[in-house]
Structure 1
C-alpha cells in the first residue's frame, strides 16, 4: 500500500500523501504516509482531530472528492499550530467499494492551485482499485477467521468423538486385542467399543453412523451409550428389557441390546434420519464363543493364523435406527486358538486413490493374507496399505479397525 501511495504522489507531483484505512464504524484503523514522512505513530494524536474536523472528515461525511485549491481560504481545511509543513493545496478522495467507505486517499502540496482537475479521475480510479483490493483482503481475512473458527470447532468435535472411544482396552486372558482409529479431517460417526460385561464376557462393537459432521458424531455417542446400557439390562426412556436373560448376561444379550437401541433411535429420532451400520457381539473369552448381531455392517472376518478367511460374519439384520421393530437375528461363531476376529468400517474398502479408484474388498483381502502376527501388527499393516493407496489424498472417511486374536494354546 505504501508503494501505491508513493507512486500516486509521484505522478501527481505531490509533496506528501496519506491513506487512512477505516473500520466499519468510520474510525481509523491504519494510517499510511508517503515514504519521506515520519512514522504515522508520531502523528497519532492528530489523526482523530483531522478526521473529525479537517478535509478528511468532510470527505468521510460526504463521500465525495474534496479539492482545496488554497487552504488559506477554504473552511474545510484544519489549520494545526506548530506544524513544520504547511500545505496550501489538497486533494482527497474516498476509497469506496459499493456502499462501504473503506478509507481516504489524500495528496498535499505546499503551493496553492497545484492540483489540476485532470488529476481527479486518475486519483478516483486509483482509490477504486485500492477499494477492491481492501475489500478482497477483508473478505479473505473474514474467511480465514471463519475457517479458523470452523477448524477449532471441528477439533473440539473430534476430541469429543475420540473421548467417546475407550481410553483403555479391557483385559481378556488368552487374547491379544488391538484397535486403530485414524480420523478423517471431516467429523464423522465411526466408533468402536470394547467393554467388560458381567459373567466375564466381553462386549465388542464397531459401527459407522450415516452422514458426516457434528450430527454424526453426536449420534455416534448416542449409539455407543445405548449399546452399553442395554447390554447391561437397563431401562431407558420407557424401554424396559424383558429378556429372559435379564438377570445375568449371556451370549444371547446382543440381540436384545441391538433391538432396543434400534427402537429407541427410530422412535425418538426418526425424523432426523440418523442410522448406523453396527456389529455388536458378546464374546466368552474362556471358550472363544461369540454371539453377534450385524445390522448392515461390513462383514466381520474370522482369520486363520495364515490370514485365510475361515468365516465371514455377515449382516443378520437391517441398518440400526431406521425403522422401529426391525427384525434382527443372532449369529454365532467360535474362534479357535490362533484365530483372529477382524472388524473394520467402510473407510477402508472405500479409501480412494488420487485417480478416484477405491481400495476395494479384494485388495483388503490380499492385505490380510499372510501370517497374522500380533493383533497390532495386523492393524498396522492394513492401515499403512490403506493410507498408501490414497497416495497423499486426504481421507474422506475415518479408518476404524478392531482385531481380537485368540492366543494359541501353550
Structure 2
C-alpha cells in the first residue's frame, strides 16, 4: 500500500534518488522539502505516514526539526537519513523520538524494510488511537448517564425550614460514588451516600444497581421505609454469588424535615458529621455494620437521630478525608472538621470542603471520588 511520505534533504540529487527508489517500491509521489523549515511547514499542512529526514541541512537541521516535534501528539514517524560516520547525531535523533535511521546509500531492500516497519507501527498506533477515542466517547456517555442518576434540583427538593446541597466529583470518567435524595409520602425524605470498591465502569454499574434496588424498595414500602430494611434488601442481592467480592459502603437515612427526627443505617461507611454553630463534630449513631455485599442475610439495624433547628448533617465518602497532596499525605478528619468550622448551611459547607481539598491537593490528581451531601434545618 502506498504511504504518504515526506522527503527532507538539502541535496536535490538525494531527493531525486529517493523519489526513484520509492517509486520502485510502489509508493506514489513523495512530498519534498529542502530544509527543516520547509519540513515543519509541510507537516503542519498535512499528515504523513513517515518522514525521511536528513541530519545535516541549512536553516534548520534534522535535530532541530525533531526538537520541535518532540512531545507532539500529531508528530509523524521519522526515519533519519544519515551517513554511517555521523552516528552521534543519529543517536541524538533517536533520543528525540526518531523511529530509525537510513544510510545514504538508499539500498532498496533496506529502504523497503525500514519503511515497512515504520509504516506498520504507525498503522497500529493509529488503530490504537481510534479505539481509545471510541472508548473515551463511550466513557463520556457513561459519565453523563451516571450524573443523570443523581438529583440536582435541590431547590425543588427543599422544604420550608429545610435546606440541602450535594456534590459528586468522580476521579475518573465514571466513578464508584453516588448520593441520593428521594421525596417520600408524608413529606419524609430518603437520603444517602455510598462508595463501591474499585473505579470506572464496573464500579459505576454496581453502584447504579445498588441505588436502583434501594429506590425501588423505598417506593414499594408501606408507610415510611426503614433505611435498614432498604440496605438489607440491597445487601442480599449484591452478596448473592459475589465471586469478585465487590462491596459497597453506604450510609442511608430517612428524615422528617418538619420535626428533624429520623433514622440512620450505616453499612461500613464514614460516620456522618453534625453541623452546628459551635463547630462540626462526628455523629455517633449506632455501630458501623458490614458493607453491602459482604455477608448475605445480615440483619441491618437503623438508629434514631435528630437535627435540631439551626443545625445540619453532612454525609461524605472517604475521597474527602483521604484526599492526597503531591507527597501522598491525606487530608484527614481533623482538617475536614477544621474547614467546616461553625458552618451549618449545606451549600457553604460543601463549598468549604471543596476549597480545603483543592488547597491540600495543590494540583495533585484525585486518587478517589469525592462525594458530599449536606442537610440542615435553619434556625428561626
Q: For the superposition of Structure 1 and Structure 2, which TM-score range results when normalised by the shorter chain?
A: 0.7 to 0.9
Aligned to 2:163: 176
Using structure 2 for the length normalisation, give the TM-score: 0.72
Judged with a 3 Å threshold, the aligned counterparts in structure 2 of structure 1 residues 15 and 226 are, in CA distance, closer, same or farther, namely closer
Is 1:215 the equivalent of 2:190? Answer: no
Of residues 8, 13, 16, the one that matches 1:10 is 13
Q: Which of 293-302 and 348-357 deviates more?
A: 348-357
CA distance in 2 between counterparts of 1:149 and 1:335 reads: 48
* Distance apart, 1:20 and its partner CA: 6.7
CA distance in 1 between counterparts of 2:19 and 2:248 reads: 69
* Distance apart, 1:16 and its partner CA: 4.7
Whether the 8 Å CA contact 1:190–1:400 is kept in 2: the answer is yes
CA distance in 2 between counterparts of 1:259 and 1:391 reads: 40
Matches within 5 A, 1:14-29: 14=17, 16-17=19-20, 19=22
Of residues 330, 346, 352, the one that matches 1:375 is 346
Q: For this pair of structures, how many residues does the alignment match?
A: 307
Judged with a 3 Å threshold, the aligned counterparts in structure 2 of structure 1 residues 359 and 3 are, in CA distance, closer, same or farther, namely same
Of residues 326, 351, 370, the one that matches 2:298 is 326
Whether the 8 Å CA contact 1:297–1:315 is kept in 2: the answer is no
Using structure 1 for the length normalisation, give the TM-score: 0.67
Q: What secondary structure is seen at the aligned counterpart in 1 of 2:242? A: helix
Aligned to 2:316: 344
Whether the 8 Å CA contact 2:263–2:302 is kept in 1: the answer is yes
Judged with a 3 Å threshold, the aligned counterparts in structure 2 of structure 1 residues 366 and 19 are, in CA distance, closer, same or farther, namely farther
* Distance apart, 1:263 and its partner CA: 1.1
CA distance in 1 between counterparts of 2:15 and 2:353 reads: 69
* Distance apart, 1:164 and its partner CA: 1.1
Q: What secondary structure is seen at the aligned counterpart in 2 of 1:306? A: coil
* Distance apart, 1:307 and its partner CA: 2.4
* Distance apart, 1:119 and its partner CA: 8.2
Judged with a 3 Å threshold, the aligned counterparts in structure 2 of structure 1 residues 136 and 205 are, in CA distance, closer, same or farther, namely same
Is 1:227 the equivalent of 2:225? Answer: no
Aligned to 1:283: 255
Aligned to 2:355: 384
Q: Which of 255-264 and 122-131 deviates more?
A: 122-131
* Distance apart, 1:171 and its partner CA: 2.4
Q: What secondary structure is seen at the aligned counterpart in 2 of 1:3? A: strand
Identify unmatched segments of 5+ residues in structure 1: 37-117, 235-245
Judged with a 3 Å threshold, the aligned counterparts in structure 2 of structure 1 residues 20 and 159 are, in CA distance, closer, same or farther, namely farther
Of residues 26, 30, 35, the one that matches 1:32 is 30
* Distance apart, 1:356 and its partner CA: 1.3
* Distance apart, 1:327 and its partner CA: 2.7
Aligned to 2:129: 144
* Distance apart, 1:8 and its partner CA: 8.4
Q: What secondary structure is seen at the aligned counterpart in 2 of 1:312? A: coil
Q: What secondary structure is seen at the aligned counterpart in 1 of 2:198? A: coil
Of residues 133, 146, 152, the one that matches 1:161 is 146
Is 1:196 the equivalent of 2:169? Answer: no
Judged with a 3 Å threshold, the aligned counterparts in structure 2 of structure 1 residues 17 and 341 are, in CA distance, closer, same or farther, namely same
CA distance in 1 between counterparts of 2:197 and 2:123 reads: 37
RMSD: 3.0
* Distance apart, 1:13 and its partner CA: 6.8
* Distance apart, 1:18 and its partner CA: 6.3
Q: What secondary structure is seen at the aligned counterpart in 2 of 1:271? A: coil
Identify unmatched segments of 5+ residues in structure 2: 35-102
Matches within 5 A, 1:65-104: none
Whether the 8 Å CA contact 2:325–2:361 is kept in 1: the answer is yes
Aligned to 2:223: 248
Matches within 5 A, 1:53-68: none
Output one character per residue of 1:285-326: Cα deviation in whole Å (capped at 9) or x when no partner. 111112010000011111212323163346541101222111
Judged with a 3 Å threshold, the aligned counterparts in structure 2 of structure 1 residues 155 and 13 are, in CA distance, closer, same or farther, namely closer
More helix by share: 2
Judged with a 3 Å threshold, the aligned counterparts in structure 2 of structure 1 residues 35 and 208 are, in CA distance, closer, same or farther, namely closer
CA distance in 2 between counterparts of 1:15 and 1:132 reads: 18
CA distance in 1 between counterparts of 2:270 and 2:363 reads: 25
